[in-house]
Structure formats: structure tokens, C-alpha cells
Amino acid sequence: MLTNGDVERWLREDVGHHDVTNQVPGDTEGRLVAKEDGVVAGLDAARAVFEYLDCEVRLPSEDGDRIESGDMVLRVEGPAREILRGERVAVNLAGHASGIATKARRAVEAARTIADGVRIAATRKTTPGLRGIEKRAVAAAGGDTHRLDLSHMVMVKDNHVAEMGLEGAISHFRERASFATQLDVEVESPEDAPRAAEAGADIVLLDNMTPTETERAVELVTAADGEALTEASGGITVADVPDYAVTGVDVISMGALTHSAPTLDLSFRTG
């Protein structure tokens, strides 16, 4: 949830202590306009910025909508000084979120061409302070947010396995986790995948495996345990998605959705 504290922090960072640039008298209106095609997101954050500055905001678009170059996605009316103060923060937030949503939608559509059931998920590779905006952008595009923070799911990773062994690590965390908390267990070879499932993993994360290895791991998990989900992860790009979707894996996790999505080009115009 966005708070006034979030907006205050963003504006304080941009406006500073002595803003001369935006000392413009009178009232005006502004429009946030797309300069390229994509999927819009981050409009809740942009609206929160302007509303904090006591401006009136209208949203002709909603997060998740496809937009084309020239489309207006937000209109604002109010004091010129306040609109100009909020402009850059709003554009940066919406452009960043829309870039993520655009990339996530491409990944979701690439997966759907192969299998309706496979989910595209984000990761915790997010920008500090902006995770909520970035995760909501993925969700608006039809993706899955995965865990939002460390409390949402236990991930048993390679370092845990190195210290306690695969079965030992799963047992260790299963004893400490709530009954409502799932265990996502990372394995690095197809042969270890059924071991994780049989030891109690709710989700078996197939880390840095090729599509061929992923397909083999899915087959082994299915044969060993019909309950555990399988998740492919590790350097997967949008172009790779069809090759992984065809393997039968349940989830494809992509850090690139949030850590390397280009900003969608948006422009703010007044008058």
C-alpha cells in the first residue's frame, strides 16, 4: 500500500529545499502521454503524487491496459507550481512500472502460446523502496508476484544445502516454518529434484538448468511425487520462455522482469 510517507520521500528527494525552477503562478492542466506502445502500470503511484500535492487527477487508462504511442494515460489539474513539482516523480514511477509491465506481458504471452497453465513469476530482485510498485506492475501484466518478502515462503537455497545437506535442510526448515508456509527448494541437477520432492518440498526450484534438463527434472518429480510444483529459474529471458514452457514446468521465475526491464517512454505535457 502506498503511504504519504512514500510520496513525501520521493518528492523530498526531487524537490529539495529551495525549488526555484517550478515557481510558476496560476493553475494549469497536465497530461501523461505514451511515446511508445506498451502496457501501462504505476498509475496508482503517479496519482498518489499529484493528489498529495492537492491536484485533481483523472485516469483514462488502468494498470494493465495496452497503450499505443500518443495515448493519454493520466490527466491532472491544479496549481501550476504543484503539477510541475510532481511531474518528474510521477513520470519516473509510471515509466519504470510500465516498462516492467510491458516486459512481463511479453513473457506471459510467450508462455501462453505453449501452455495455458504455466505461470510467469517475478523474484525479489527488485529496487529497494520500490518493490510494491514493481510487483504490482508484474501482476497487472498477468504475471505472478512470487513471494513479496522473506516471510511469505521459505526458500532452501544452495548455501543451506551446503551446510546441512538437502534432506537435512528441508527437515530443519519444515520444523521451524508455519503449517501455512510453503518450502521452495533449490536443486541444481535433475537427479536431485525428486529427492527434494520426496523430502517434503512444496515447490522444487530447478536452478540454472537447460530446457532439456528441466524437462527431465519435471518427469522425475512427477514420477516421485504428484504433489510438488516445479519452478524453472536462473537467467531465463523472454526469448527463452517458450523453450521452458514446453517442458511441463509449473512456474517460470524471471529476475529480469524487474531488474532489467527498460523504462517505457512517457511524456508529461502541460497547458
Amino acid type, 185: V
pLDDT tens, position by position, 145-189: 999 988 899 999 999 999 999 999 999 999 999 988 999 999 999
Q: What range does the domain containing 10 cover?
A: 4-108+262-270
Residue 15 binned pLDDT confidence (cut-offs 50, 70, 90): confident
pLDDT tens, position by position, 53-95: 999 999 999 999 999 999 999 999 999 999 999 999 999 999 9
In this predicted structure, the answer to whether residue 20 has a pLDDT above a threshold of 70 is no
The answer to whether 125 is a known catalytic residue is yes
pLDDT tens, position by position, 96-137: 999 999 999 999 999 999 999 999 999 999 999 999 999 999
Are 126 and 23 contained in the same domain? no
Catalytic residue among 103, 125, 135, 157: 125
Are 90 and 190 contained in the same domain? no
DSSP letters for the chain: ---HHHHHHHHHHHH-S---TT---SEEEEEEEESS-EE---HHHHHHHHHHTT-EEE-SS-TT-EE-TT-EEEEEEEEHHHHHHHHHHHHHHHHHHHHHHHHHHHHHHHHHTT-SSPEEE--S---TT-HHHHHHHHHHTT-B---SSTTS-EEE-HHHHHHH-HHHHHHHHHHHS-TT--EEEEESSTTHHHHHHHHT-SEEEEET--HHHHHHHHHHHHHH-SS-EEEEESS--GGGHHHHHTTT-SEEE-THHHHSPPPP-EEEEE-
Across the range 19-42, mean pLDDT stands at 89
Are 37 and 131 contained in the same domain? no
Average pLDDT across the chain, whole number:
94
Q: What is the CATH number of the domain that holds 71?
A: 3.90.1170.20
What per-residue confidence (pLDDT) applies to 195?
96
Share of the chain above pLDDT 70, in %: 99
Q: What is the CATH number of the domain that holds 245?
A: 3.20.20.70
Across the range 249-262, mean pLDDT stands at 97
Are 228 and 126 contained in the same domain? yes
